[in-house]
Chain A
Amino acid sequence: MSREIRYREALREAIAEEMERDPRVFIMGEEVGRYQGAYKVTEGLFDRFGDKRVVDAPIAENGFAGIGVGAAMVGLRPIIEFMTWNFSAVAFDQILSNAAKVRQMSGGQFSCPIVFRGPNGSARQVGSQHSQSMEGFYAHVPGLKVVAPAFPRDAKGLLKAAIRDDNPVCFFESETLYSMKGEVPDPSEGDLLVEIGKANVCHEGSDVTIVSWSRITHVALEAAKLLAAEGISAEIVDLRSLRPLDEETILESVRKTHRAVVAHEGWPYGSVGAEVVDRIQRLGFDDLDAPVLRVTGMDVPMPYNARLEQHCLPQPAAIVSACKKVLYLE
């Protein structure tokens, strides 16, 4: 039996179920406990699990991210919440130099089973320092896994899988998705686990493939509706995992449609989107009937002004236009 719950509730269920299952799991971050979470993801967890396992941290991302890494090395399974991924920049050294390296530096003697999570990307007029899509920085790093679910069901199943993973996992959510509702199986049906590294075709089509993740998958769905009205059938591959990247699902779709557009919110230069394009052209060259195009956030810091902000973000119309270009209709 499925029920409709919000994205933030799906995340909360994942955390609570894993904390219930495994006493090594704890969550630490700013305002995660008594305040009930800056975005209410952890609402109720403090009352249920207490201050040993739902830990309010002061504003010290470098400090508490490092605490998580050290604790993970000696047997705990920390979930470190960043109030937003923008703030992870001051903890970048802990993730890049410690979490992602400790297994290699120790010749495989130690590992780092930790989840770093929080909202990512734009959140309506919060300005340049609070609107960044950070996933590309982390997907670049061997030693890390990176996931960015678009739907409540995937958010829950992937977070549970991330907590159980023996590697560091960077988990990207979105402030603009937290209130979105979706079908999620009832916990009574058993553990909902979504395998890290598997994309999902969330909308089937035959004329063009759109590859996207996180919030932009919903923009792609809007675009698919507009295209359908013009008789164009778009297929959407929702990546869910950015590292590892599910080449096979992407290529299977491209073999069917022969055309691809990659859409994401982050900047274009050296992004995950660029990586996806490389793989499509390299591994699916003979199946392509047009160059692969990208629709990305604009290559500037995010402006505050509401209209300019929307101007910088990928819109359904831009995805429609790119799809028409790869179909040589524009």
Chain B
Amino acid sequence: MFRAPMSEDQDELLRLYGQMQRIRRVEEECARAYAQGKIGGFLHLYIGQESVGVGAIAALRPDDYVIGTYRDHGLAMAKGMPARAVLAELFGKATGCSQGLGGSMHLFDAEHHMLGGYGIVGGHIPLAAGVAYASKYQGNGRVTLCFFGEGSVTIGSFHEALSLAALWKLPIVFICENNEYSMGTPLARSLSLEDVSQKALGYAMARDRFFARDVLEVKARIGEAVTRAREESEPTLVEVRTYRFRGHSMSDPGKYRTPEEIEAQKKLDPLQKARDALVAVLGEEKLAALDAEIEAETADAVKHAEEAPEPSPDILEPTTYVGEFAR
């Protein structure tokens, strides 16, 4: 069978598909480990939303910064955090990215400029503006991507951060991942408008709005905002419409939406769409080989997390203060 040569776009699509698939497989294993009691606390899965983080982060330079919410596994992996470090952290192990002290909601990776997942809704948005403030102050040309859900748009810190970022022309892109539900409450019952990007208007900030159905489109559209940040030092609010296939967290009974709604959304899965497009060009065999490779990586990461040692209580004080403990 004749196959057209790979275009640059197809090459990139293959790379991004690989990232999305890695994230999904790791998170499916997270759900399994959670059910087995190997992961504790809260667990917020990104399944269904991978194209947002993967597409957006693909538009960055390696030294750019990413900050997110507690739904942060996909962002951390897209920014370069190895699956082993993610899973070990969720298992609470010493080899986790935060030595088992942070857990699912707080994935940090200094080397890859992943500045963390944060657990207080909206609380990280001013902090992200501060990272962008520092980039401008230092003149290092770095751009900050700040991710949050549409549930953050109702809290004050979102507004203060946007107001200051616009006032001081900070090199930042605010990415609102609108997955239609803030926990169990649909958008229509939490916001007085349907178009979240309109919030930018009050701050005289550039804005954009689109569906995250095509990971390459996400990359291109976020890329425009990244360029605006890097070249003009202007912030942008981007609303990306997406959908999570799982509950808000593992304890979510999900009674606020119908199985039919979820099934209809799954038919639009950007991950599957990317795979189908690649299969059409490369053939099933090539994709199956990649999937198998990811399967092996994921299994290795799970095994690593299971076997890694527990952190020692000795790390508690030195990770609270730099230098001597202030008691």
Contacts and interface: CB of A to CB of B under 8 A. Distances in A.
A63 interface: yes
Contact of B320 (A76, A104, A113): A104
8 contacts: A62-B126, A63-B157, A67-B129, A73-B115, A73-B131, A76-B137, A93-B120, A97-B119
Contacts of B131: 70-71, 73-74
B323 interface: yes
Residues of A in contact with B, size category: 35 or more
A99 B164 CA distance: 19
Given A70-B131, A71-B131, A103 B96 contact: no
Contacts of A52: 137
Given A52-B137, A62-B157, A70 B101 contact: no
Interface in A166-185: 166-167
A106 interface: yes
A245 interface: yes
A103 B319 contact: yes
A150 B65 CA distance: 41
A64 B164 contact: yes
B322 A103 contact: yes
Interface of A: 26, 52, 57-58, 60, 62-76, 93-94, 97-98, 102-111, 113, 142-145, 165-167, 196-197, 243-245
B108 A58 contact: no
Contact of A94 (B127, B318, B319): B127
A63 B160 contact: yes
Contact of A67 (B115, B123, B126): B126
B97 A71 contact: no
Given A69-B127, A243-B326, A104 B101 contact: yes
A132 to B, nearest CB: 21
Interface string B96-108: 1111111000101
B165 to A, nearest CB: 9
Chain B contact surface mostly: mixed
Residues of B in contact with A, size category: 35 or more
B322 A69 contact: no
Nearest to B160: A63
A103 B321 contact: yes
Pick from A108, A111, A145 the residue with the most CB of B within 10 Å. A108
Contacts of B327: 243-245
Contacts of B115: 70, 73-74, 110
B167 A106 contact: no
Contacts of B322: 103, 111, 113, 165-167
Which 4 A-B residue pairs are closest in the complex by CB-CB distance? A70-B130, A66-B126, A63-B160, A107-B98
A66 B157 CA distance: 9
B193 interface: no
Nearest to B124: A98
Contact of B126 (A58, A63, A103, A105): A63
A190 B96 CA distance: 45
A219 to B, nearest CB: 27
B239 interface: no
A69 B126 CA distance: 9
A68 B108 CA distance: 19
A58 B167 CA distance: 9
B237 interface: no
B259 interface: no
Given A63-B157, A63-B161, A197-B324, 14 more contacts: A60-B160, A62-B126, A66-B123, A71-B137, A76-B138, A93-B157, A94-B123, A104-B101, A105-B106, A107-B101, A108-B318, A113-B322, A165-B322, A244-B324
